[in-house]
Amino acid sequence: MSASARGELARARWKEYHHSGRRGKSRILDEFVAATGVARKTAISLLRNPPPTKAKPRGRPGKRYGPDVRAALEWVWAVSDYICSKRLVSGLPHLISMMESHGESHWDEPTKEKLLKLSPATCDRLLYAVRERSSARGRSLTKPGTMLKSQIAIRTWSDWAEQEPGYCEGDLVHHCDNDTSGEYLHSLTITDVLLGWTENEALRNRSEQTVKNAVESIRLRMPYPIKGLDFDCGGEFINEIMLRYCRENKILFTRARPGHKNDQCRVEQKNWTVVRQNAGYNRYEGEDARRALSALYRALRLQVNFVLPSMRLVSKERVGAKIHKTYDQAKTPCQRALDHPCVPEEIKERLRTEEAGVRPTHIMRQILKLRNELYEHAK
């Protein structure tokens, strides 16, 4: 007799065996041994504790997130320009809402509910197969400015105590590949320390007047006034023209310490995520390349400030040899501006109007197109 048949017979006779006396149990045991062929001790065990009807499932349960969830997550991840899972999961409700409002969603309601329940660890697991890593490295070509240093205050990474937007860090990125001869393009990056709002401008060269004009262009595009600018010690920033410009526009002008990249950690991060990941390390020359790079930055402005969430460091604590960092909830710079009490209501209304017209999928396609057009100008 098979094991399943013995179990079925044991389940059929166990109640009778349990309520019988000594002679009744002996009779039932004789019948069970004769029918099944098992030893008497085995028969006693089976009749005392018959096996359950269904065996307990072994191993891990079935997968909760199928190919539909994986495909939807990969689509949203691509639209968000492949940001990390912690930022992506925190920003999924806002990003999904933006995509659905413009008819850019490709999922049903059950898939959407599963997307909104994802954890960062599960997100990493689902995206593991398609995640690509880049190991590109660049060069720093900052040359120190020797003039006016004593007139410009130093601001270190720990000196940012402002609780209102408008205080920014700025830096210049070189697009020269490995050849520093001749004239080539540069990118000016200015990012708000408190909100993370980021603006970029493509420069034909890095002359003092060109840099000043680029700063003015960014100042006019910022949704709120610039109250402070912090640059490195490069000669393109530390000069009479920039000092006079900041004084005339009542902008607090500070500089970082030479050789201390961490003093400008916010803008250095944007140099990588916004500039290098899109423009690469190629050499670009001429006005046509500058126009292509400017067009790319106009599209990236909408993605970085209205679509991509970012996290701010709230606190960090050293425990032994490790440092535990605490971050706030990931939000887009636009959301942070709308939530901040120091931003005037008329500026918030303009931001809401601009945000309503942002289409994440359309912007991502436009960025890919403009990026390919820019690469055609690479030397």
pLDDT in tens, the chain (379 residues): 788 888 888 888 888 888 888 888 888 888 888 888 888 888 888 888 888 876 555 555 556 788 888 888 888 888 888 888 888 888 888 888 888 888 887 788 888 888 888 898 988 888 888 875 443 444 445 554 544 555 666 666 555 566 889 999 999 999 988 888 889 999 999 999 999 999 999 999 989 999 999 999 999 999 999 999 988 888 888 888 998 999 999 999 888 887 777 778 889 999 999 999 999 999 999 999 999 999 999 999 999 999 999 888 888 888 888 888 888 888 999 999 999 999 999 999 999 999 999 999 999 999 999 999 999 998 8
d(CA 64, CA 75): 19
Residues 229, 243 contacting (CB under 8 angstroms): no
Residue found by looking up tokens 């500070």 in the block: 254
The closest alpha carbon to 126, from 187, 71, 55, belongs to 71
Q: Is 302:367 a contact under the CB 8 Å cutoff?
A: no
The 167-174 sheet, strands edge to edge? 153-154, 252-255, 228-231, 167-174, 186-192, 198-203
Spatial contact of 321 and 332, defined as CB atoms under 8 Å apart:
no
DSSP 42-76: HHHHHHHSPPPSSPPP-SSPPPSS-HHHHHHHHHH
DSSP, collapsed to helix, strand or coil, labels residue 309 as coil
Q: What is the value of pTM for the model shown?
A: 0.72
Distance (Å, whole) CA 115 – CA 127: 13
Based on C-alpha coordinates, what's the Rg of the chain? 32
Q: Taking the CB of residue 309, how many other CB atoms lie within 10 A of it?
A: 23
| Residue 326: both structure tokens together | 């605490």
- Please list, in sequence order, all residues whose beta carbon lies within 8 angstroms of the beta carbon of residue 298, skipping any fewer than 6 positions away: none
What does the alpha-carbon distance between residue 375 and residue 15 come to, in Å, rounded to a whole number?
81
- Supply the pLDDT for residue 195: 92
Q: How far is 187 from 275, CA to CA, in rounded Å? A: 8
Residue 22: how many other CB atoms lie within 10 Å:
7
What stretch of H or E contains 158?
none
Within 13 A of 60's CA, how many CA atoms are on the CB side? 3
Which residue blocks in 102-207 are alpha helix, DSSP H? 109-116, 120-127
Residue 144 and residue 174 in contact, taking contact as beta carbons nearer than 8 Å: no
